[in-house]
Homo-oligomer: A and B are copies of this chain.
Amino acid sequence: MKVLEDRIRKDGKILPGDILKIDNFLNHQIDTKLMEEIGEEFYELFKDKEPNKILTIESSGIAIGMAASKYFGYIPVVFAKKTVAANMAANTYEAKEHSYTRNIEYTVQVAKDYLNENDRVLILDDFLANGEAMNALIRICDQAGAKIVGCGSVVCKTYQPGEQRIRDMGYKVEVLARVSHMSDDGEIEFE
């Protein structure tokens, strides 16, 4: 998605530890117009899959889900909650997610009320790195017996295993901006 790649080139910041920060239009300040374009792009990529629900994860995923939902006819967006405390609850689906960026383990939770075996779920998230977050969302859908019709991510790095890992599980994966290289002097290349 060219407009997104251009924006990442312009505003993305490379931090130590191979971290790409896109705080000024997605992860802290949101460019809501760009977000709508991202939502529309996900619609184009997944409309034939006819999802009836979008599953994402707090916090930034909420903006992506909101933007995409409209194009799919205002299907509900469920955002999984992420907690460091492992407060197991009888009425939630849960999966562990290891964050490599922060080196901590999260518990990802979705209330059983909001996901079930009749759902056709489109999973959307901001970053697909090692695939930990998306994998947690997939396992939660499995617990619910929901059908996953596709997985979309705004950004991935092609040299990290997440994208292939999810694809190898048999899911359709679409990524809008695929970073192939980030150099120390701030250059970002796309595949």
**CB-defined contacts of A180 to chain B, threshold 8 Å:** none
Contact A113 B24 (CB under 8 A): yes
Contact B24 A66 (CB under 8 A): no
**CB-defined contacts of A3 to chain B, threshold 8 Å:** none
Is residue A30 contacting chain B, with contact meaning CB distance below 8 A?
A: yes
Q: How far is the CA of A30 from the CA of B62 in the complex (A)?
A: 9
Q: How far is the CA of A29 from the CA of B60 in the complex (A)?
A: 15
State how many copies of this chain the complex holds.
Answer: 2
A58-89: which residues lie under 8 A (CB-CB) from chain B?
58-60, 62-63, 65-67, 69-70, 74-79, 81
Q: How far is the CA of A65 from the CA of B28 in the complex (A)?
A: 12
Interface flags, A93-135, vs B, CB<8A=1, else 0: 0000000000000000011011000000000000000000000
Is residue A6 contacting chain B, with contact meaning CB distance below 8 A?
A: no
A66 to chain B, nearest CB (A): 4
Contact A32 B77 (CB under 8 A): yes
**CB-defined contacts of A65 to chain B, threshold 8 Å:** 30, 32
Contact A79 B30 (CB under 8 A): yes
Q: 21 A-B Cβ contacts within 8 A?
A: A23-B114, A24-B114, A28-B79, A28-B111, A29-B78, A30-B62, A30-B65, A30-B76, A30-B77, A31-B76, A32-B65, A32-B70, A32-B74, A32-B75, A36-B74, A58-B58, A59-B59, A60-B62, A62-B63, A63-B63, A63-B77
